[in-house]
Chain A
Amino acid sequence: MQDVKTEKKEFTPNIVAFCCNWCSYAGADLAGSSRLSYPANVKIIRVPCSCRVNPMFVLKAFQQGADGVILCGCHPGDCHYVTGNYYTRRRMALLYSFLNYMGIEKARTRLEWVSAAEGQRFSAVMNDFVKTVTELGENKRLTDLRVKEGE
């Protein structure tokens, strides 16, 4: 007796990943060529450097329904543009702490340093992040923030 799939498809999070072209995107490529799988709902946007990611992009992603946003860059000291990732580290430290202050679970936002040689680490990070966000459930907080009548 084939078990009937529950009609509510169990929740798979929608993850937006910003990867820097020189390190983490190459790391993602290596994870691909080494066939190290991670869930399909992680989608990667290529940026020249992690310092290109504007907080606007992170917030826009949440507004458009992303359940988790992860930003990957080169290890501090290895940045192709010398100091790019140092600025990213400060910006995201402040942004993520601020979002947490606004009541958005900190685990929905993440920053990981992945080098071009770390395909293994890239796939492990993505698997772990999807697991964390799945446990957190759907991101309801960043979309319907207006007080509804009768609330």
Chain B
Amino acid sequence: MKDVELKVVERAKALLASGEVARVVGWKKGDFCFDPSPAVFESVEELDGLVYNWFCGANLSKYLIEISKKEGKTAVFLKPCDTYSFNQLIKEHRINREKVYAIAVECLGKLDVEKIKAKGVSMIEDVEVVEKEVKVATAYGTETLHKPEVLLTKCETCQKTHQVKDEEIILHERPARDVDRFAEVAKLEAMTEDERFAFWKEQLSKCIRCNACRNVCPACSCVKCVFDNPASGISAKANDAEFEEQLFHIIRAFHVAGRCTDCGECSRVCPQNIPLHLLNRKFIKDIDGFYGEYQAGEEAEGKTPLTSFTEGDVEPNDAVDGEAK
């Protein structure tokens, strides 16, 4: 992974130095090796802080909404899943394509430091991954973990490829994988109504309405969110009335339905670890079932499933779990 990082830094510096771009969007080194955060680099010196390691899970495309309004071009490093969100934002005219220089960067899946810590590993200093082996160098020596067990949830079922690239830094090909990303959703669908109700009641009452999921979601980037607009009739900060979380999450899921690229950021950032991606994936599974396979973000123009129709669509009264019952 170090070779990729070197190439990333080298290209970033070259682009900035040559003046081809006015700034570079990437990940900045955090206090440890496992907490890089998205950052904008505007000078070559700053680029020394640019990193690209096993923990760069953040999706950078949402930041381009504001940044692409600035003068001059912006270079950005996009992992395969980020490119779908990038395309979706192009389709919705939120990012000005000419103002962005997209560098498709290799991604073999990112690690979840929570999962590593949960395995009892602490004082992590560095991480190196070879094939399925994760070598975690800590103050107490090196621990070896099995990669699939410590992947970010969103990377476990990832079959994405780069949709957009002005340039690419791909040194290792990612082996194709055959994974059913709807397994979890199907499991929930198989439950009885009471079990499902209990599951979501328990999960969603953990929600503290911190809006992290909304703030990180590329599809959920309105100029002024309906929940912040008192004229909408559903604006509420705290959960004063009953059923508040349900209302927030159902409406949010509905707003991104047909636009959500399943990039998994919502679950990654949720402080309460609510499996929010299972909400959006349910809509994706239903849309695929009812109206045919659709992956948001594959193209940068055209209609979404909720803004198109066919004469023979399924009737709502018989439409359950992706089929006409």
Contact = CB atoms under 8 A, between A and B. Distances in A.
Specify whether A and B are partners: yes
Interface of A: 55-56, 59-60, 62-63, 76-77, 83, 86-87, 89-106, 109-112, 141-147
- The SS class assigned to the B binding surface is helix
B225 interface: no
Contacts of B254: 55, 94-95, 98
B241 interface: yes
Contacts of B291: 90
Contact of B313 (A59, A90, A109): A90
Given A90-B291, A101-B189, A141 B197 contact: yes
A90 B197 contact: no
Given A98-B253, A141-B197, A143-B243, A89 B311 contact: no
B166 interface: no
Contact of B201 (A63, A100, A147): A147
B168 interface: no
Contacts of B194: 103
B6 interface: no
A147 B247 contact: no
A97 B205 contact: no
A104 B250 CA distance: 12
Interface of B: 185, 188-189, 193-202, 204-205, 226, 232-234, 239, 241-243, 245-247, 250-251, 253-254, 257, 279, 282-283, 286-287, 290-291, 305-307, 309-311, 313-317, 319-322
A90 B199 CA distance: 26
Main secondary structure of the interface of A (DSSP, over half): helix
A63 B241 contact: yes
Contacts of B250: 55, 59, 98-99, 102
Given A145-B205, A146-B205, A100 B320 contact: yes
18 contacts: A55-B251, A56-B233, A59-B247, A76-B311, A92-B316, A94-B283, A94-B319, A96-B316, A98-B279, A101-B188, A102-B246, A103-B195, A104-B193, A111-B315, A112-B317, A141-B197, A146-B242, A147-B201
A90 B309 contact: yes
Contacts of B315: 89, 93, 111
Contact of A103 (B200, B283, B322): B200
A101 B204 CA distance: 14
A54 B316 CA distance: 15
B305 A90 contact: yes
Q: Which 7 A-B pairs have the closest CB atoms?
A: A103-B197, A86-B309, A93-B319, A103-B196, A147-B205, A92-B316, A93-B316
A87 B308 CA distance: 7
B316 A89 contact: yes
A97 B247 CA distance: 15
Contact of B246 (A86, A105, A110, A145): A145
B251 A145 contact: no
A109 B306 CA distance: 19
